[in-house]
């Protein structure tokens, strides 16, 4: 279930306004009351097991729900996407679900062994179940998490401490190392694709694998294969073959975004069209000089930028420990939001609603109690929640000169009510 915590109940925390942080998908917010009203009249149950409750997140091509597992009488999270739209996330999560222990290969000189990651759940979401719903939608049952880095960046008014930014970088490198070890490239790294972990508060969970693919040497990639966001690598803008270095380059641009409090990409700047916007992003990154942009920040950030910049794209595997080595002087660091999560856990009494409460709310006991006429309405409810391909809008298929991706879950921006923080237990 979703526990909400009003931020001003935490002592000594910065005050923020209750304004909404939203972007182009503002119509998603208007659909939530429709769902909450109609789902009580026509409850949506998937495979006789999962009752959809509330919309947690609405993107341009996917919707994430709070749900109840009717068999286990437990809360869960379900992500639904349009079946006709390509999505590699199930393939990747299934691969790591079946992998109990991972170890990267030793380099030819035998002098360096990459870190052994014994538990992939420190870096990735766990896929509990998946399938097809009414031949139109793909669904995934996932473990529950805290808010994304994008949420926290908005929550703290675009101001993170250096220690927080360093920890984000280190944990992101761990996650990228894991997927690169299996020859997967993320290809759409951004602030919204990094979720906070509630079990181990220092871990970050990498998500948003819709655009991911397997890396193959000398593989020819169509220029239309890429979706672009402000963190995309130069290679993505140019439609070149991607390498593990490209994911790390995306992380570098994210670091600059966090350090400059969002000013590097000048979000207030207006553009005539997407072509101009993408050209602006490309020119910024193509002319980026670490010594100029990072001169007023701790030297470790400049060293990290240069190590990324001078990586050989054909160097596989990458020496990830070498990249992290610039931050070796920072130990026992925490995220800026750690005290908030601890406060929530200490002050909240976790009393899960029973299945009977859900039955009372939705006036059902099982799938057979839903009249057939109401079952037929399920696709209509879903069509109001998951946008069709014709209305995906700014999400792209994409030639780099014509369309872009804003780089969020399902290539869209989150709509976040800053007044409350949502934790999914």
pLDDT at 151 over 80: yes
pLDDT at 414 over 50: no
Q: Is 206 helix (H, G, I), strand (E, B) or coil?
A: strand
Q: What is the pLDDT of residue 229?
A: 87
Q: What is the pLDDT of residue 178?
A: 92
- Residues with Cβ within 8 Å of 279's Cβ and at least 6 positions away in sequence, in order, are none
Residues β-bridged to residue 137: 82, 133
Instruction: Indicate the range of 53-62, 74-83, 215-224, 348-357 predicted with least confidence.
Output: 348-357
Q: What is the pLDDT of residue 174?
A: 94
Q: Model-level pTM greater than 0.85?
A: no
Q: Is 270 exposed, middle or buried (0-12, 13-18, 19+ CB in 10 A)?
A: exposed
Top mean-pLDDT range of 77-91, 199-213, 295-309: 295-309
What does the alpha-carbon distance between residue 77 and residue 284 come to, in Å, rounded to a whole number?
38
**Does 155 or 387 have the greater pLDDT score?**
155
Range list of H helices, 2-136: 26-41, 89-97
Q: How open is the CA angle 207-210-215, to the nearest 5 degrees?
A: 95
The torsion angles phi and psi of 408, rounded to 5 degrees, stand at -115, -175
Average pLDDT over residues 122-131: 90
List, in order of start, the domains of the chain with CATH numbers.
Answer: 2-344+390-424 (1.10.510.10)
Q: What is the pLDDT of residue 175?
A: 94
Query: Which run of H or of E encompasses 43?
Result: none
Among candidate residues 46, 367, 57, the one with its CA nearest the CA of residue 195: 57
pLDDT at 79 over 60: yes
Instruction: Indicate the range of 157-161, 405-409, 421-425 predicted with least confidence.
Output: 405-409
Rg (CA), the chain: 22
> Mind listing the pLDDT tens digit for each residue in 171-207?
999 999 999 988 999 999 999 999 998 777 889 999 9
Average pLDDT over residues 33-48: 65
Q: Yes or no: say if 3 and 56 are a contact pair by the CB < 8 Å rule.
A: no
What does the alpha-carbon distance between residue 162 and residue 179 come to, in Å, rounded to a whole number?
26
> Mind listing the pLDDT tens digit for each residue in 88-116?
888 898 888 877 444 444 444 444 434 44
| Confidence category of residue 323, pLDDT binned at 50, 70, 90 | very high
pLDDT at 410 over 50: no
Q: What separation, in Å, do the N-terminal and C-terminal C-alpha atoms of the chain show? A: 6
């Amino acid at each position: 279930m979703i526990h909400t915590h009003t931020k001003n109940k935490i002592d000594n925390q910065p005050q923020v306004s209750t304004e909404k942080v939203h972007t182009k998908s503002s119509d998603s917010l208007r659909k939530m009351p429709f769902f909450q009203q109609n789902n009580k009249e026509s409850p949506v149950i998937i495979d006789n097991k999962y009752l959809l409750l509330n919309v947690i997140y609405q993107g341009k091509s996917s919707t994430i729900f709070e749900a109840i597992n009717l068999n286990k009488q437990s809360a869960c999270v379900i992500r639904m996407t349009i079946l006709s739209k390509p999505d590699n996330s199930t393939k990747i999560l299934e691969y790591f679900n079946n992998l109990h222990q991972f170890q990267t290969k030793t380099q030819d000189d035998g002098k360096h062994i990459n870190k052994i990651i014994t538990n992939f759940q420190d870096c990735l979401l766990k896929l509990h179940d998946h399938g097809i719903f009414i031949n139109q939608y793909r669904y995934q049952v996932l473990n529950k998490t805290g808010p994304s880095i994008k949420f926290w960046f908005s929550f703290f008014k675009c101001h993170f401490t250096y220690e927080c930014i360093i920890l984000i970088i280190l944990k992101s490198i761990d996650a990228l190392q894991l997927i690169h070890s299996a020859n997967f490239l993320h290809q759409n790294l951004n602030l919204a694709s990094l979720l906070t972990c509630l079990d181990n508060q220092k871990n970050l969970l990498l998500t948003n694998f819709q655009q991911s693919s397997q890396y193959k040497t000398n593989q020819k990639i169509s220029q239309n294969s890429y979706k672009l966001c402000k963190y995309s690598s130069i290679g993505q803008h140019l439609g070149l073959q991607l390498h593990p270095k490209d994911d790390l380059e995306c992380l570098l641009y994210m670091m600059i975004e966090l350090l400059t409090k969002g000013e590097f990409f000048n979000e207030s700047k207006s553009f005539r069209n997407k072509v101009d916007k993408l050209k602006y992003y490309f020119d910024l990154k193509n002319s980026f000089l670490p010594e100029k942009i990072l001169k007023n920040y701790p030297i470790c950030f400049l060293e990290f930028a240069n190590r990324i910049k001078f990586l050989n794209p054909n160097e596989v595997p990458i020496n990830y420990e070498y990249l992290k080595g610039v931050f070796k002087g920072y130990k026992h660091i925490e995220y800026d939001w750690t005290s908030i999560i601890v406060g929530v856990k200490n002050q909240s009494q976790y009393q899960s609603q029973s299945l009977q409460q859900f039955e009372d709310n939705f006036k059902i006991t099982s799938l057979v109690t839903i009249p057939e006429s109401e079952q037929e309405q399920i696709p209509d409810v879903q069509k109001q929640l998951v946008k069709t391909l014709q209305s995906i809008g700014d999400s792209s298929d994409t030639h780099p000169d014509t369309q872009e991706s804003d780089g969020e879950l399902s290539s869209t921006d989150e709509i976040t009510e800053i007044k409350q923080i949502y934790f999914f237990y």
